[in-house]
Structure 1
Amino acid sequence: MKKIVLFFILLGIPVLAICQVTVINLLNSVNWEEGEEGLLKEYPNDIEKKDEVYLRGLLYKSYFKEVVIGDKSTHGAILLDSIDNNYIREFSIRYEDKSGRNCYKYIKSEIEKEIGLPDESNEGGINLSIWFKENSYIKVSSFFDSSCTVTIKPINSIRPVFRKARFGDSFQKIRSLEQKENLSDRNDFYIFEDYLLGSKCNVTYLFGYGKFLQGSYDLLNEYSNKNDYIELYNTLKGSLSSKYGVPNNSNVVWIDKLFKDNRDDYGIAISLGHLKYTTEWHTSDCRIEMELSGNNGEISLSITYRDLELFFLLHKYMVKGEIDDKL
């Protein structure tokens, strides 16, 4: 680096213009696997330490002194994993513009100059644009014209979140990990049968734009006594709670209270769509949602693992019609 700086000094080119940290070079050059240690080596003079605080469940203890895009510059937060503090979870950079210019539109246009049109964009109410790269994605979001936030995050989760897979893994990688025959003939689904705590189930990996975005278990048990589904639900809930802790949300929802006063008929109530059980766990890596519901005499029990940021992409992918609406 010193030789490069000296070369540009000899050429009479301002060193600041060469060495400044920009949104685009962060997006293109960050090595998520090397973590904070690698980042400090890459940008030894550009990062400032600060008192440790937690922001949205992530550890915030250092920041870029200046991150530039177009004619705007500000500091950028470096947010680390709350469990393993070396792992970088995201860069968060908030820009403001007091000139009367629409900050979101300006930042978006500057990014488009460098990497093209966004993969997804929504304007009106909450302005949001997302660009996906090989290992990272960048999001520009705004509630107000005078400010916007640029977020850069890794596509891959840092730990396995669903069986052996990390969000962002490719179809080929997960197929090689599972080594099961695919029951689907589509390249955006990988489905096979397995067992979960002794209960038969379908395992489904769902992909969008070539990336693993959502995983689910769909239980296949059939019981003549429909209350046995509630017992299985509670067994699975206990197992998940032992792994992920106390649920963030747990609800018993009555849509029709016809059978509410007779617990022996709760299974029937579920099968008719009168009653639904839901439980959620929120971890630093994903959201886990379990649901017991039914309709027309049938009952379904499923557990879904998803990353909320990537689920936005999945939703858009489904709306485009590339995935049907059966999920």
Structure 2
Amino acid sequence: MAKIGYTLSSEEHGPNALVDNAVRAESVGFEFVSISDHFHPWTSTQGESPFVWSTLGAIARATDDLEVGVGVTCPTIRMHPAIHAQAVATVAAMFEGRFTFGVGTGENLNEHVLGDRWPEHEVRLEMLEEAMTVMEKLWTGENVSHHGEHYTVENARLYTLPEEPPPVVVSAFGPKTARMAAEHGDGLWTVGSQEKILEAYEEAGGDGPTYTQLDVCYAETEDEAVDTAYEHWPNTALPGELSQQLPTPAHFEQAIEMVDREDIAAGSTVTSPDPEDHRERIREAIDVGYDYVYVHQIGPDQSSFFECYETDVVPAFE
């Protein structure tokens, strides 16, 4: 049976609220949560972007059995993979087997902030593969030196380690990266009920756990939900690779001028107040074959969402 999870949206909630939401998610019956790793929110209206590794430490101490994953980190540009390896090892040690490390090729929105060049996807994919190699070496606890095409590590050793390295699940939005996830990762991470990406992963030999996120906005009425999603998460309606290429929230705010309320209403976000519509969207993702299906409640009202899902959605999948 697939596991049902909840999104800790770092772009919309501060660190203390994220910890509280994780605790609430566990009490509701969600089996896992995913937390985003951003330097910037997509838009200024979202308004937050705490340092994920600090937040994760607090969540580790505030929860008991909840599985937690980063969905996802780009371990290649903004922070060196050796430093990521240390951060992940510490957090994984705190979670004692409950932590999964999701990785991806990132977005310019977060990775340009130190003035580094934002390379094309092919190069970013090469960087991700090498970064994963560096981190795996360091998680052995041995002394590591690495002189690669993109990264250098000299005489580095991690002393604080979990009993076992966490699974590294690779994010993919197309078949090429899905094949890379099958070859180099321990699982697949994506969004929506995408069959082709899952098929590409499995055809390439991928047999690890598969994760997907569904956007929802639960409110008393559908109009209220559409208005909330339009105000707080219009970026979901942007086409193509804009979300990977635009560098600042201001640029996203310019781009979303092409998005209107009707785009949200007609899009993939579940805005119905009927719990059956939420259950059905989750079932669709499970039927496609995803092992972990988690929902992102858009907007500031998480309380009403939790009440609905505790009573009418999560129990349907127990």
TM-score category (smaller protein): under 0.3
What TM-score comes out, normalization by structure 1 length? 0.21
- The structure with the greater share of residues assigned to strand is 1
What TM-score comes out, normalization by structure 2 length? 0.21
Q: Which of the pair has the greater relative contact order for Cα pairs under 8 Å at 6+ separation?
A: 2
Please say which structure displays the higher CA radius of gyration.
1
